[in-house]
Amino acid sequence: MAHALSKSSFIRGVQCKKSLYLYKHNYKLRDAISPSQQALFSRGINVGKIAQDIFPGGVDVTPESVFKYSASVEKTRKLIEEGSTIIYEAAFIFNDVLAAVDMLVKRDGTWFAYEVKSSTRVSDVYRLDASLQYYVITNAGIALADFSILHLNNQYVKKGKIEPEKLFTAVSLLSECEKNQPMIAEKVRELKEVSFLSSVPDIKIGKHCFEPYACDFMGQCWKNIPQNSVFELAGMSKEKQFELYDSGIVKISDVPADYSLEKNQRIQVDATNTGKELVNKTEITKFLSRVNYPLYFFDIETFMPAVPMFDGTSPFQHIPFQYSLHYKKTKDATLQHVEFLAEAGADPRKDFITHFLENTKDAACILVYNRTFESSVIARLGNDFPELKPEIEKRLSVMIDLMEPFQKRHYYHPLMKGSHSIKNVLPALFPDFNHKDLAISEGTMAMAAFEQLQTENDIFKIAELRDNLLEYCKLDTLAMVKIFEFLEKNLRLFPSPSERAG
């Protein structure tokens, strides 16, 4: 029982017909799935399993693979005929469109459909998604009394065992689903035609490449966009970027001198065109004058479980599990390093904060990169552990943001490409010193790695993941050391990045 469209390919086609065609006929051209994307997929599966406890005892007809949904359709049909009242991943086909709903529940002789989402709100995509499912299910012969989205309740606070009925919020979309049926039928007709085209639709790149999701064929469709294009202009809306692009202004160097830009965008354009650094020595000197010793360079890693794992926490709350500290007692002292990485399976917050307070008890200054984030995580621990709040507030009072000189453009290099992220600043200053060769090279990968540790049983994999996490976090604070020393030692000369390499 083949199908031309599925729920996911329908959403893809609504976003971009070219993407749908490539997905159907040139699947291998898709961009690789990143570890962070894979973690999102796994999160959705796990959240769905927990939601099943709201309606326990159902029959799961999830197929062995995405290529065997016809078996799920047949199992669903038989279960309904045999009188089953709760079916997980119930699958239906109508008009060559496949749809599977997370939970199909019969109460008092009437069917109710529930779709589970691992988010804290109902998005427009979810509404469209539900409307398609309603179209397939009802036309396949199942009259639905209601169709609801179950999303995570971000006000829920875990106290003991997870309570699924409180963890999720139900939102009925029945009236919207009914209203959208003519539109869904027309879209199905259009997208089925796209599936059977003999050549790729001629669709140019546009805002649709990013909305509602970043397309996974961008590597194909954007391959001719050059480096230093207008799409790298920081802080500029996609709408304005495409206005420039569609008018023939593709490279930053093509932007007219009289084109209206924000201050930081003009700095980026000028630096890109001249290839020269921008240095405000007065402001950098002021920044450096605030730094005192003993000096600590501090970076933390957090993870955000969709379903809270620890008492007193809520969905998607940042839970700190790791930090790295490089420090110097005096300006001329030898650089030293300490670190913390929580053990899996237990609430890491108390150990994290007590170790941090002990390691920084003599700190006159704590440098972080993005103080807004770091301080908010630390401050929340003061609320979680009131007895430690006075000491926590002392640390917060000496916390300074190393990002500031770059964010405010007191220093800017064209290789930063409009960004003040440490992942852009570091290679701009030190081309041979960056994160790209690490097994864990960004924060979302660190989150995924620590979540994996919660269920990993292979001792060798556990050791590997922990080593990778420690290496990543340590490099972040060592990067801060190098950036700070760059500002401090090279304030007068600022040699070129090639001269600093190594």
Give the mean pLDDT of the chain: 93
**Cα dihedral sign for 245, 249, 250, 251?**
negative
State pTM to two decimals: 0.89
What does the alpha-carbon distance between residue 306 and residue 116 come to, in Å, rounded to a whole number?
13
What is the structure's pLDDT at 437? 82
Q: How many helices (H) and strands (E) does the chain have?
A: 20, 14
Mean pLDDT over residues 91-103, rounded?
96
Give residue 331's identity as a one-letter amino acid code: K
97-107/5-6 β-pairing: parallel
Q: Give the range among 101-115, 215-229, 329-343, 422-436 with minimum mean pLDDT.
A: 422-436
Mean pLDDT over residues 59-78, rounded?
89
What values do phi and psi take at 60, rounded to 5?
Answer: -95, 120
What is the token pair recorded at 285?
A: 């000197």
10, 16, 18, 205 from 21: Cα distances, Å? 11, 9, 5, 15
A 10 A CB-CB count for 290 gives: 10
Is-contact 381 319, C-beta < 8 A? Answer: no
Sorted by sequence, the CB contacts under 8 Å of residue 205 that are 6+ apart come out as: 221, 222, 225, 245
Is-contact 352 384, C-beta < 8 A? Answer: no
Q: Give the range among 61-75, 318-332, 463-477 with minimum mean pLDDT.
A: 61-75
What values do phi and psi take at 279, rounded to 5?
Answer: -130, 120
Q: Model confidence at 436, in pLDDT bands (50, 70, 90)?
A: confident
Domains and CATH numbers, the chain: 5-195 (3.90.320), 226-266 (no CATH), 282-500 (3.30.420.10)
A 10 A CB-CB count for 283 gives: 15
Give residue 129's identity as a one-letter amino acid code: D
What is the structure's pLDDT at 499? 45
A 10 A CB-CB count for 445 gives: 20
What does the alpha-carbon distance between residue 451 and residue 118 come to, in Å, rounded to a whole number?
16
Please choose, from the candidates 350, 340, 342, the residue with its C-alpha nearest in 3D space to the C-alpha of residue 313. 350
Q: 3-state DSSP call for residue 170?
A: strand
What is the structure's pLDDT at 502? 46
What is the structure's pLDDT at 500? 46
Sorted by sequence, the CB contacts under 8 Å of residue 402 that are 6+ apart come out as: 297, 367, 368, 369, 480, 483, 484
Q: Model confidence at 214, in pLDDT bands (50, 70, 90)?
A: very high
